[in-house]
Structure 1
Amino acid sequence: MHRFWEKVIKPVITAHQPKSIVEIGSLSGLNTVKLLDYCQHYDAVCHVIDPLPKFEVEWAQLWYGEKFKLYQDLSLNALPQIESYDMILIDGDHNWYTVYHELKQVSEMAEKSGQFPLVLLHDTAWPYGRRDMYYNPETVPEEFRQPCELKGIVPGSSALVEGAFNWMVHNAVHEYGERNGVLTAVEDFMKQSPVPLRLHLLHSNNGLGVLLPEDSPLNPIISFILDTSGF
């Protein structure tokens, strides 16, 4: 998601000026550090959720202090621990079950706080917009899990291929279908959301979705930022 920082995320976050941010999936921390820099300048807090962060956690805690809150756990375990937030970036486990239930928990938080947050979601396009991926299949209940294999993905092919893109993770054997992929999860959530929502999409760099209430005054600003981003 860090590839979108300068042209999309930074303008969006500056327009929105959130005071409490959640980041699901930090990986090497390239986006996390940018969020934390924002928090230092705007007196905000960033809650980072990642069971296995791949950046210098102790350094971040020392440098950013109370602006940085880390939850080394799965997102569905950690999210209920955060009382309220006005922006969340979802870039963790790219499968229907996880993303759908992350959004359900976001909605539950919003019902209590009275404010649905600005949501950014990575991987809404190929390869995981319509195909599940599992870092650890056992974290997803069997009834929600697509048949999967440790094989890679190639554009234009539903079938998996030995040694192709992302062969080292568990990819769904087939693309498309019910309960399969990040974008499918977002669409399914929107259908039953108690708050009417609008989804803005970019299709480059594996896709970025921006989700917010239909009546939010940020909608035209988001449209402008995305349309002029060059992605």
Structure 2
Amino acid sequence: MHRFWEKVIKPLIIATRPRTIVEIGSLRGQVTYKLLDYCKHVGARCIAIDPVPQMDTELLAEYYGSSFQMIRKLSLEAIPAINQYDMILIDGDHNWYTVFHELKLVEQMAARTGQFPVVILHDTEWPYGRRDMYYFPESIPQKFRKPFATRGIEPGRSELLPLGGFNHMVSNALYEHGERNGVLTAVEDFIEGTSYDLRLYRLHSSNGLGIILEADSPAADVLPYILNTSGL
């Protein structure tokens, strides 16, 4: 996600001026720090969600004060407690079940508040656009969990490698493609089933970035220019 900051995410934030930003998947804070600098400057708030963040959250809370909130839970447990937000960045557990239900929770928030937020998702292309990955396999209901193994993957090959390969240390679905498999599939299934008139914008580099907007969102006027001039 951080590779898209300067040319896409930052310009989109400046154009839309969100007051509350939710970030799913903080990890080492490469994007979190940048979001917090914006929030502190304009008096906005960043709510970070990560069950095991790899950054000094106490120091961040001390420095950024009310601009920062850390929720150490899985996203599907944390999101329902957040009443309203203008933008959400989704870069957590890269599988169909999690992403689809994260988006359904966003939809429920929008129904309560009357505003569908700007949604930014990482990993909409290879390797996890069409393949599930599980950080915590036991958190996914069995009927939605693909057969998986802790083995690596490579472009152009559906089955997992016997040794080595990309992300060989995490739980990857045995095969690519098919129903309810991968981040992009979850996004497409959500958009097909929602009553909101949504548009999906995609960038294909750096594992892919997807941006979901309502068709009449003010951001829809500026986002095509941002994407076309990003060079990504």
| Residue number in structure 2 paired with 1:165 | 166
Instruction: Give, in angstroms, the shift of residue 227 of structure 1.
Output: 1.2
Deviations 1:133-164 (A, max 9, x none): 00111000000001100000101100111211
Hey, what's the Cα distance between the residues in 1 that align with 2:14 and 2:65?
22
1:31 corresponds to 2:44: no
Hey, what's the Cα distance between the residues in 2 that align with 1:71 and 1:194?
30
Deviations 1:154-211 (A, max 9, x none): 0110011121100010000000000000000000000111211000000000000000
Hey, what's the Cα distance between the residues in 1 that align with 2:214 and 2:149?
37
1:152 corresponds to 2:146: no
| Residue number in structure 1 paired with 2:178 | 177
Hey, what's the Cα distance between the residues in 1 that align with 2:17 and 2:221?
16
Matched to 1:141, the amino acid is P
| Residue number in structure 1 paired with 2:231 | 230
Paired residues for 1:31-180 under 5 Å = 31-161=31-161, 162-180=163-181
TM-score by length of 2: 0.99
Secondary structure of the 2:230 match is coil
Hey, what's the Cα distance between the residues in 2 that align with 1:125 and 1:201?
9
Hey, what's the Cα distance between the residues in 2 that align with 1:67 and 1:216?
25
| Residue number in structure 1 paired with 2:199 | 198
| Residue number in structure 2 paired with 1:208 | 209
Matched to 1:209, the amino acid is G
Contact 2:27/2:55 (8 A) holds in 1: yes
Matched to 1:126, the amino acid is W
Instruction: Give, in angstroms, the shift of residue 215 of structure 1.
Output: 1.6
TM-score by length of 1: 0.99
Hey, what's the Cα distance between the residues in 1 that align with 2:14 and 2:218?
14
Aligned residue pairs, count: 231
- Which stretch of the first structure deviates more once superposed, 171-180 or 216-225? 216-225
Matched to 1:222, the amino acid is L
Hey, what's the Cα distance between the residues in 2 that align with 1:199 and 1:57?
33
Instruction: Give, in angstroms, the shift of residue 220 of structure 1.
Output: 3.0
Q: CA RMSD in A?
A: 0.6
Secondary structure of the 2:31 match is helix
Secondary structure of the 2:191 match is helix
1:189 corresponds to 2:187: no
Instruction: Give, in angstroms, the shift of residue 217 of structure 1.
Output: 2.6
| Residue number in structure 1 paired with 2:222 | 221
Hey, what's the Cα distance between the residues in 2 that align with 1:42 and 1:206?
31
Instruction: Give, in angstroms, the shift of residue 218 of structure 1.
Output: 1.5
Hey, what's the Cα distance between the residues in 2 that align with 1:46 and 1:137?
28
